[in-house]
Amino acid sequence: MFHKDLERIFHPRRVAVAGVSTEGFGFGRGIFLSLLSMSFAGELFPVNPRGGEILGRKIYRSIDEIPGNIDFAIIAVAASQAPETLEKCLRKGALGAEIISSGFRELGTPDGVALENEIRTIAQRGIRVIGPNCFGIYCPRSGLTMLPGPDLSRESGQVAFISQSGGMSIDFAFMGPWTGFHFSKMVSFGNGVDLRETELLEHFKDDDETGIVSLYVEGVEDGERFSRALRETSAVKPVVVYKGGQSEAGQRAVTSHTASLGGSRVIWEAALRQAGAIQVQSLEEMAQTCLAFSLLPPRIYRGITVAGGGGALGVAACDMAEAYGLSLPHLEGDVYEAVLSCLPKPGSSAANPIDIANPYVPPRMIREALIQAARDERVDIQVQVPLLYHFKALSTLMGMKSFQEMTPYLEMAAAAGEVTDITGKPVVVVLPNPRRGEKDMDVEELFRQARRAFLERGIPVFDMLSDAMRAIHNVSAYAAAHGRQNQ
């Protein structure tokens, strides 16, 4: 069942922000200014017992004073004031509230636990609570933003993120668009007194805007219901899970972070595998995996070609491939000859890895080489590794001031897209970006432009070959678990 009330929480029209001071760096003032900066679509009502004004807007002295009803509240008052504020929101007809204040169960004190229990009791009377001790909701379509996000993207995408951690949420909110995808909704639920991982998972299963669900979790409340939700969601869309606190020391840290009960590493691994979810080991891997799910057809990828980047990269590619269940079929016969005929000589090798002797080979030749290589039926996917930074050396040698014009990244992106379209076998690009000092900001800028060009053409881009292979492996693992093969 799709939870209509939950959906309305992501798109509220009248929102109270409790705890907005007229100056300083407090959370309440921060989130209020962030909502303005994001051009949030609804009406905002700042609240503070001291009253006053902020940017010419009246600050209400209490939730009660707001004219008419509200449908959502962001609560950033001291923990001890949170229950009373929440109670007022309930009376004002709010469907939900996020409590971004901390000072509850995570403190491990009797006072903290008691306050959190009060929150829970009020929630059970009919207001959905996100938090406390969280960064709240981010929804690009409505402009509802999380702490401290005044500059998150307003572009919507298909990735939902459910997170016990606020820090992970804000980092992931920035990491997504950079990596190459956007979000449908994001919820940082912190201590999770009411709305948390399982119910959100059930919600995003039925959310048409959401095509991929990602999840950072430290512990769950109802293991059985969580496993069922995970299994049912994985059956219709990829679910990517990063479980924090897998070590003994990590579990201890979890206790003081979100006060969750963990569960052993082995149990988690088995549960996630059985549910057909994909487990990742870092936020970076989660982002790269979401990108791969966004742009690659859900197939089992085994045979891979790696083209460009020099001989040692090819050697490293082979070493890595094994670990990710991939293999580099040795090209032979007329496919080999056809690939070789597209490459500069001497110094190139067409056997796969396809070692291209110099980084300045025109994109149309690489295009032709990849089309030829795809004729080998053992090849499922191709990875191209252009070394853009070498164009800087070339432009230095040629005494040119800007090397961006001479770097054919647009042609490269078009070629990669065409090879994918023509062969039906995806091309993935790795753009190694060995950063330098402040004087080479032009290389960094070119790198970002090129990255965007590939993404706009629907080509997944990764910084490192190992990242690409791991992400491809994760897509394969999902396809294998759900029986989708080369359809």
Q: Which of residues 428-457 bind a copy of itself (CB under 8 A)?
A: 432, 434-438, 441, 444-445, 448-449, 452
> 147 — phi, psi (to 5°)?
-70, 140
| Choice between 1 and 55, CB closer to a copy of itself | 55
Which of 64, 221, 319, 405 touches a copy of itself by CB under 8 A? 319
Name which of residues 56 to 75 contact a copy of itself (CB under 8 A). Answer: none
Are residues 6 and 205 in contact, defined by beta-carbon separation less than 8 angstroms? no
Of residues 436 and 484, the one with the C-beta less far from a copy of itself:
436
Mask for 1-40, x = binds a copy of itself (CB under 8 A): ------------------------x----x--xx--x---
Sequence letter at residue 258: T
Q: Is 158 in the site for a copy of itself (CB under 8 A)?
A: no
458 binds a copy of itself (CB under 8 A): no
The DSSP secondary structure of 384-439, one letter per residue, reads E---TTHHHHHHHHTT-S--TTT--HHHHHHHHHHHHHHHSS-EEEE-------GG
- Binding of residue 150 to a copy of itself (CB under 8 A): yes
Per CB under 8 A, the list member of 210, 214, 466, 474 interacting with a copy of itself is 466
What are the phi and psi torsion angles at 322 (to 5°)? Answer: -50, -45
Q: Binding to a copy of itself by residue 246, rule CB under 8 A? A: yes
Q: How far apart are CA 85 and CA 91, in angstroms?
A: 10
Residue closer to a copy of itself by CB (options 174, 481) is 174
The label of the residue with tokens 């009377």 reads 125
User: How big is the site for a copy of itself, counted in residues (CB under 8 A)?
Assistant: 88
How many whole angstroms separate alpha carbon 331 and alpha carbon 354?
9
> Closest CB to a copy of itself among 77 and 95?
77
Under rule CB under 8 A, residue 322 binds a copy of itself: yes
Please give the backbone phi and psi of residue 239, each rounded to the nearest 5 degrees, phi first: -120, 125
Choose the stretch contacting a copy of itself; rule: CB under 8 A; options: 46-54, 120-128, 220-228, 254-262: 254-262
**Distance of alpha carbon 170 from its chain centroid, rounded?**
10
Helix (H) or strand (E) holding 311: helix 311-323
Q: Enumerate residues 98-117 that contact a copy of itself by CB under 8 A.
A: 102-103, 107
- Sign of the torsion formed by the C-alpha atoms of 331, 336, 341 and 345: positive
Scanning 123-131, 159-167, 368-376, 479-487 for contacts with a copy of itself by CB under 8 A, the matching segment is 159-167
